[in-house]
Structure 1
Amino acid sequence: MITITEFQKIGVGITGFGIFFVLFGILLYFDSVLLAFGNILFLAGLAIIIGLRRTFTFFFQRPKLKGTSFFLGGILVVLFRWPVIGMILETYGFVTLFKSFFPTVFGFLGTISNIPGLSKFFQHYAENGSAV
């Protein structure tokens, strides 16, 4: 099993707060201050979790430069108080950067149906085609 240091646990918390602030900023009609704060916390938490060198090498690999430029450019546009355009740029950059992780995430979500309460919900949803 993978051991997680206390420092990495703090990084997970900071990343979680970053995601929370981004989602809360979107919920409050693209509040640029919350979005900027969330972006900064997300990047800081990611750097704490995997380290500064790994973060830098992840974002600045040659095949990922396009995604990195859109993601960091979107953050910069949000900081300049154009949140809708910045979030569109960030979303495109995020999808481009992390597209290699999506099959793993969807595979994990597929195993959630093995959880007793959720499997009944998914079976009911699949049979009726309605969640209500």
Structure 2
Amino acid sequence: MPDNLTPEQRSYCMSRIKGKDTGLEMRVRSELHRRGFRFRKHVKELPGKPDVVFTKAKVAVFIDGDFWHGYGFSEWRHKVSDFWKKKIQSNIERDRRNHEELVKMGWTVIRLWQHDLEQDFNRCIARIIEAVRG
């Protein structure tokens, strides 16, 4: 399906999308806080600046949008321009590198996908709690 916006309009629209403190991140953090958990967010000292960090438990949580982080990318990569193919592929590779670095540092890494949070939010929260409690 062709894009109905000019490249300049599309660029402007995409530039307005938030990179952190997204609705899903805020919802996850709010629920964890409501349940009594305390954490840090977007810790610069850790690879990938995880969205939610439990320092004592060494648990790093990433909340990833399906498009930006390439969920099932091989199934839909043919539908996007070369620019987006390159951008999303580099995001996937960067995510993989950050994951590996964190594991080498002794961290437990949880990656929550947008579609998983939308389908079963409580199960995603339970995954985090299980990891934090050990």
TM-score (norm 1): 0.29
TM-score (norm 2): 0.28
| Higher Cα radius of gyration | 1
Higher helix share: 1
- Structure number with higher relative contact order (C-alpha < 8 Å, ≥ 6 residues apart): 2
